Structure 1
Amino acid sequence: MEMADLCAAVVNSPERKVLATVVYIDGHAYRKEGASMLLGERGSIWGSISPGCMESDLLGWAEAVLSTGKVERVPYDMRPEDDLSWGENIGCGGLLHIVLEPVTGKLEQVMQQMHYCFLEGQQVMLTRRYDWDNGTAEYVLGKAVSPQEAAAPWPVVYFHTYEPKPRLILVGAGEDAVPVSRLAAGAGFRVTVADWREALMTAERFPGAELVYGFPSEIFALLNIRSSDYVLLMSHQFQREKEFLALLQAAEYAYLGIMGSKDRTTRLTEGLIITANLHSPVGLAIGADGPEEIAVSITAELIALRRGKQLEQPKGGARYERSRNSARGWTKRAHGT
């Protein structure tokens, strides 16, 4: 889970919670600095900051934080090789400082504000100023850090910029879109499914996804595509996708994937101005076969691009794509042809 999910949990769940955040790392760690999770008063857990080795201990700390209402900082030192206190499955080997903050008062208000900022696709900076003698913190949202604060070492001030979940827009609600929606949501994308076939647009098929129903001109007006959005055309309806691409020419986006062969994509984009963010065929060339494996290859490509990785397809890799000429519905083609 990311901060956007945690803020949504604060808005939607009445259970009292504690926010645990990794604020300092020395050495290797399972999650990066800034990673957070929520610990509920009834033992509920949202997210993780370890492979599961610290959560039970953190629940004990969370109980104490909820009882006192004070902010706590807890160090976890897994560097000594002969330290048997954490067992052999710690999987980290570093020093972590974790701050536990009761989600009440100002922090609760701030996380509610962050939730609505994330829904609008906005990034936010959260600055915390700690008074460890009294176990309190001040929270400032959306304000640049002063040079004095930036120079102040942890543990006096901690600030972090949180990004909204990137939105993946699936244009097409066919059977092959179902596993893509599920895997992309699990990988941290906010999924929107758009289609003109009403029977396919159900919450049962796309749990947790936003559903936008209508023809290309209608859904395009509703989507309000932003420069951070990932767009994937997988309706297998040539004329509808051609109409959508014509509208997309004026928009900015982070990624445009088109399901199908390069020949089909060439015909789709003929006469149109498409940015360099076009990916076709979509997905990493892992020799995927069938909808589930193709969804894995697509999701892997989305993750790689989101993390700023340069994609290099192996020579001779294979792609699988939809074919009306195949009795089974899928046919194998050489990657890049």
Structure 2
Amino acid sequence: MKELTDIVNAYDIAAQSGIKTALATVVQVEGSAYRRAGARMLITEDGQLTGAISGGCLEGDALRKARLVIHQQEAMLVTYDTMDDDDSKLGVGLGCNGIIHILIEPINDSGTSPIGLLKAIVDKRLQGVLVTLFSIEDRKAPQPGTCLCLTTQGLEISGLESSDHRLSLINDAQRVFDQQQSETRILTGEVEYTAFVEFIKPLITLVVIGAGNDAIPLTKMAAVLGWDVTVVDGRPNYAIADRFPSARKVIIAKPSEVLQHVDLNPQTAFVLMTHNYNYELALLQELIPLQLPYVGILGPKKKLERMLAELEDNGFNITQDQLNGIYGPVGLDIGSEGAEEIALSILSEIKAVLSSRQGYSLKFKPTPIHTTHIKKISSS
């Protein structure tokens, strides 16, 4: 989501200056590659790049092709075979052992542009589905590109008015939205098209409970990741916006008031670090029934055990499912010392939990780094 946000912001700046742009999207990967399908990059006619489609190997060639796309105002599908180590092809030995298909689309103000569909997700900080349509079999055929966006706020469609696949793609988008799992679908007909139906998670929302000095590096590092950060504390002399310039909101609130200031989504994480036992106990009682994916509590394990026991002694029933989302001591075991390293540990654990990963070294991962869960379905 951060990449999409950066691209939308960069487009707005370019558009205000009258600079033409194109959008490059990794639409399909066969084998291994640095970026997976869904990676995007905005390219301006004067050579500014926002986002990334590789580790830097493909960007130069993509820039050259994007300028052609901008000039001709026609989308282009480009394929890079990184299985070949011959430096003469791209000027660099990639060694990724994959085939990468990248669709480059011109951005213009006529109708609903790809950027307009991205904005439908980014501006409202929503989860959603984007559909990108392209033809690998017939590269000279029209490449419809980013053509559909589905969110809880509704459906937006661009360029499918006369398409035989319009209804089918709407149904595909709804299914992917419900299942929260991307698909690649083959659409047969006069021209064989591939539809990349991509589920996009909402922006990670980090709610830091506690405005002490140790919360400052946590908010700064989360902002670098593009997370939406809110800081909450009951102490007016701590909860000061100037102390947390990286946070979108800094709130003064009692535990019973906190949830009034937070928009919860499936990517919301709380970290309790007030160093005030009673404040955190009262807030934990508010959070547990919500069964959030991540509630981290700074401090020793005995502190959390005492809090849970105290709640249960007062008649508060805590289920195993609710306990599964509570993390204390907070963070991954990376030998952290000091506020900055503790922040790194906490953010790493949050990312691992929200990605359903274990957080161990990739050295010991028995399967490829990017395991794909994309379905391939043929449809006429």
Classify 1:130/1:94 alpha carbon distance in 2 versus 1 (closer, same or farther; 3 Å): closer
Q: Distance in 1 between matches of 2:348 and 2:97?
A: 27
Partner of 2:21: 17
Contact 1:171 1:195 in 2 (8 A): yes
| Cα distance in 2 between the residues matched to 1:89 and 1:169 | 43
Q: Distance in 1 between matches of 2:132 and 2:278?
A: 52
Extract unaligned runs of 5+ from structure 2.
151-169, 176-183, 362-380
**Other-structure match for 1:162:** 200
* Residue 113 of structure 1: aligned partner: 120
SS of residue in 1 equivalent to 2:185:
helix
Q: Does 1:194 align with 2:202?
A: no
User: Could you report, residue by residue, the CA deviation over 1:95-153 in whole angstroms, capped at 9, with x for unpaired residues?
Assistant: 11110112334123212212234x2xx32112233485345446122133289x93427
What are the within-5 Å matches in structure 2 for residues 1-337 of structure 1? 1-10=2-11, 14=15, 16-88=20-92, 90=94, 92-104=96-108, 105-106=111-112, 107-117=114-124, 119=125, 122-130=126-134, 132-137=140-145, 139-142=147-150, 143-145=170-172, 150-152=185-187, 155-201=193-239, 205-215=243-253, 216-269=255-308, 270-271=310-311, 272=316, 273=318, 275-310=323-358
Q: Give the CA deviation at 1:13.
A: 5.7
* Structure 1 residues 155 and 4, CA gap change in structure 2 (3 angstroms): farther
Aligned partner letter, 2:213: E
User: What is the letter of the counterpart of residue 19 of structure 1?
Assistant: L
Deviation at 1:224, TM superposition (A): 3.4
CA gap 1:205/1:103 in 2 versus in 1, 3 angstroms? farther
Q: Distance in 1 between matches of 2:122 and 2:67?
A: 25
Amino acid at match of 1:144: N
CA contact (8 A) 1:212 1:219 kept: no
How far, CA to CA, are the matches of 1:302 and 1:165 in structure 2?
Answer: 13
1:267 aligned counterpart, secondary structure: helix
Identity value in percent: 32
Q: Distance in 2 between matches of 1:42 and 1:203?
A: 37
Which amino acid letter does the alignment assign opposite residue 226 of structure 1?
Answer: N
Post-superposition Cα deviations, 1:151-207, rounded to whole Å, max 9, x if no partner, equal 427744332222212211111122221222222333453322222334444555434
Backbone CA RMSD of aligned residues: 2.8
The alignment partner of 2:282 has SS state of helix
Aligned-pair CA distance for 1:92: 2.3
Report the secondary structure of 1:6's partner residue: helix
**In the alignment, residue 37 of structure 2 is paired with which amino acid?**
E
- The corresponding residue for 2:378 is none
Distance of 1:202 and 1:62 partners within structure 2:
45
Change in Cα spacing, 1:50 to 1:151, as seen in structure 2 (3 Å) is: closer
Once the two structures are TM-superposed, the CA of residue 252 in structure 1 deviates from its matched residue by 3.1
The count of aligned residue pairs is 309
TM-score scaled by length of structure 2: 0.72
